[in-house]
């Protein structure tokens, strides 16, 4: 998933690579969802998008009942992940 200002998107045909930080002012993290219980072997049942003046979020619910929530604050350029 990519976060750009008030937009969330992903590229279906692009394989993720381990990110490299260009400076100490940015921290890129690759989260491997293939290792998370309740996601492997499950299908996506529902995706909900939300936004405010400073944040954009996506909540993904899987058939196993597991929910992942991503909230990106574009003023701080930070992303929180809840699972």
| Predicted confidence (pLDDT) at residue 71 exceeds the cutoff of 80 | yes
Predicted confidence band of residue 67 (pLDDT cuts 50, 70, 90): very high
The pLDDT of residue 81 is: 82
Which residues on neighbouring strands pair with residue 60, listed in sequence order?
47, 68
**pLDDT, tens digit (0-9, with 9 covering 90-100), for 7-51:** 666 667 766 666 555 554 555 666 666 677 888 888 889 999 898
The pLDDT of residue 35 is: 72
Q: What is the mean pLDDT of residues 51-66?
A: 91
| Predicted confidence (pLDDT) at residue 5 exceeds the cutoff of 70 | no
Q: Which of left, alpha, beta for 33 (phi over 0: left; psi -120 to 50: alpha)?
A: alpha
End-to-end Cα spacing for the chain: 15
């Amino acid at each position: 998933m990519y976060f750009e200002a008030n937009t969330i998107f992903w590229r279906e045909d692009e394989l993720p690579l381990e990110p490299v930080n260009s400076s100490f002012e940015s921290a890129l993290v690759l989260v491997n969802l293939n290792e998370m219980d309740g996601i492997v072997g499950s299908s996506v049942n529902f995706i909900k998008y939300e936004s405010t003046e400073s944040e954009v979020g996506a909540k993904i619910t899987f058939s196993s009942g597991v929910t992942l929530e991503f909230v990106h604050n574009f003023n701080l350029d930070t992303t929180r992940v809840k699972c």
